[in-house]
Amino acid sequence: MIMLILSLIVAVEHLGIMLLEMFGTPQQQAQAFDMPLEYVKQAPARVALANQGIYNGMLGVLLILSFLLFHGAVLVIVLRLLLGFIVVVALYGGMTATRKIWLVQLLPAALALLVTFL
């Protein structure tokens, strides 16, 4: 049960990140992602954030769909795969963009992934 709750939290979080990346104001995005406001206002940066947003959104959707499509051992394997992807991406993002990613994305995903092994 804890595995499902933590995985659902990660899914909802990724949907929220998607909304911020795709539809947030430049001020919200600059603050959330530790980027200069002038940079975030540029059209190429807006497109890049929206593109990144769709990836985060799809990870959230896939986590939610996995609850509906899979059960038992198969569900655990699928959750491990998706949460593992998120952990790797968050590790990289924390090293290259902002360390805040480690707290916001890596920690919840790593905890959820850890629980799948218990």
pLDDT for the residue 19 = 98
Specify whether the CB–CB gap between 10 and 18 falls below 8 A: no
Q: How many domains does the chain have?
A: 1
pLDDT classification of 41: cutoffs 50, 70, 90: very high
Torsion of CA 24, 29, 31, 35, to 10 degrees: -170
Residue that the structure tokens 């799948």 belong to: 116
How confident is the prediction for the chain on average, in pLDDT?
96
Specify whether the CB–CB gap between 33 and 22 falls below 8 A: no
Domain of 48 in residue numbering reads as 2-116
Rounded-to-integer distance, Cα 34 and Cα 37, Å: 9
Specify whether the CB–CB gap between 81 and 38 falls below 8 A: no
pLDDT digits (tens, 9 = 90+) for 59-102: 999 999 999 999 999 999 999 999 999 999 999 999 999 999 99
* Average pLDDT rounded to a whole number, residues 93-117: 96
